[in-house]
Amino acid sequence: MKLAASAGLQNAGLLREGISYLNYVRNHSIPMYYGHAIARAEGDNEVTGAVIRKVDADWSPVPGTEQPIDVDTICVGYGFLPSIELLKTIGCELEYNEQLGGQIPTRTRLMETSVPGVYAVGDGSGVAGAPASIVEGRIAALSVAARSGALPKSRARVRVRRELRSWSAIQRFRAALDETYRIRPGIYNWMTDDTIICRCEEVTAGEIQQFVGTSRDPNYVKSLTRASMGLCQGRNCSRNVSWLVAESTGQDPAQVMSLNARPPAKPVPLGAIADPTPPPIPSDLMMSDE
Ligand SMILES: Cc1cc2nc3c(=O)[nH]c(=O)nc-3n(C[C@H](O)[C@H](O)[C@H](O)COP(=O)(O)OP(=O)(O)OC[C@H]3O[C@@H](n4cnc5c(N)ncnc54)[C@H](O)[C@@H]3O)c2cc1C
């Protein structure tokens, strides 16, 4: 608690930002339901309501606590996934960190991955927020500048030390926040057979259940069901697929193999690859002759 308080003092700006959000919600008399989750959306062609229910400390549903709410829009947030596709493709060593979104690259203090000369910062290394991303970018840039001779090593060292101090303070604050928002394992008890796990390919939990248990590798389930093969390439569902495999094979989720990354790392229009002519420059960016 003392640690969280001192980390909070060192991140006064972030604390103020959080308090301002809370005040906004209170000032607009928006009801807050702590310890609750959306059980389901109501409506056929559009949302006409929601049903919420209580969850326990592990996020398992508490039976008999369902309650309808009159809403026309539902937004849900269940954490972030790091953008590690390119790092995976070039063979960077990965480690598991539940609080930073699952698998993240192993890095040195200077943000260099296990592949020499390849640095990972920001959301490419675990989602730790905007301030941490900026500081990590600076540390990596200073390291590259010193290594290439663009900046004297002694000057780089002084500046890196300063950035590392800010980075540590942000990390302590994040650790306290992340613990609050950490996804608890009971969430996986919410699934029923017809729960859609892969939204891009519309694969249900029931379809995946037919194949989990036959292999310890989620890539096997992926190739048989197409789960994680759609537009988002598993950003929405890969953790759920991995968890289903972990549960049925008795593995710790941290030990389950990760899904292979396939190029292109992010969806791009076919024309961007196939069309050799450069795209036209938007008129507001054109230089005037006058
Ligand atoms: C909905 C949401 C809410 C969030 N709220 C907060 C918050 O309140 N506080 C907080 O601290 N963090 C928040 N975050 C997290 C924060 O936004 C990220 O951690 C942070 O922006 C990561 O910085 P980054 O530089 O790694 O990536 P980004 O900010 O995503 O920057 C990557 C940039 O690269 C560009 N790019 C991508 N591909 C290419 C390409 N091929 N060529 C050229 N450019 C490319 C993108 O357009 C983008 O501008 C939130 C994130 C989301 C999604």
For atom 37 of ligand 1, the residue with the nearest CA is 266
pLDDT value of residue 9: 61
Q: Where are the domains of the chain?
A: 2-69, 85-181, 185-255
For atom 39 of ligand 1, the residue with the nearest CA is 266
pLDDT value of residue 290: 42
- Ligand 1, residue 77: give the atom nearest the CA: 1
Q: How far is the CA of 208 from the centre of ligand 1 (A)?
A: 32
- Ligand 1, residue 128: give the atom nearest the CA: 19
Q: How far is the CA of 45 from the centre of ligand 1 (A)?
A: 32
Question: Is-cis flag, bond preceding 82, omega within 30?
Answer: no
Q: What's the pLDDT tens digit per position in 133-190?
A: 999 999 999 999 999 999 999 999 999 999 999 999 888 888 877 777 788 889 988 8
Considering only residues 13 and 33, tell me which one the structure prediction assigns the higher pLDDT.
Answer: 33
- Ligand 1, residue 122: give the atom nearest the CA: 26
How far apart CA 53 and CA 120 sit, in angstroms, is: 40
Q: Are the beta carbons of 107 and 113 closer than 8 angstroms?
A: yes
The percent of residues in the chain predicted with pLDDT above 90, rounded, is: 56
How far apart CA 183 and CA 11 sit, in angstroms, is: 24
**Fold classified for 185-255:** Arc Repressor Mutant, subunit A (1.10.10)
User: Is 122 close to ligand 1, i.e. is its CB under 6 Å away?
Assistant: yes
Q: Give the 3-state secondary structure of residue 174.
A: helix
Q: What's the pLDDT tens digit per position in 88-108?
A: 999 999 998 887 888 899 999
Instruction: Report the range out of 7-11, 13-17, 154-158 with the highest average pLDDT.
Output: 154-158
Mean pLDDT computed over every residue of the chain: 88
Q: What's the pLDDT tens digit per position in 188-245?
A: 888 899 999 999 999 999 999 998 878 889 999 999 999 999 988 888 899 889 889 9
User: Is 130 close to ligand 1, i.e. is its CB under 6 Å away?
Assistant: yes
Q: How far is the CA of 122 from the centre of ligand 1 (A)?
A: 8
pLDDT value of residue 215: 84
For atom 21 of ligand 1, the residue with the nearest CA is 130
How far apart CA 95 and CA 239 sit, in angstroms, is: 15
Above 80 in pLDDT, residue 280?
no
Q: How far is CA 126 from CA 144, 266, 270, in A?
A: 21, 17, 29
For atom 2 of ligand 1, the residue with the nearest CA is 80
pLDDT value of residue 132: 92
User: Is 127 close to ligand 1, i.e. is its CB under 6 Å away?
Assistant: yes
Rounded to the nearest 10 degrees, the angle between the axes of helix 238-249 and helix 218-225 is: 120
Question: Which of left, alpha, beta for 175 (phi over 0: left; psi -120 to 50: alpha)?
Answer: alpha
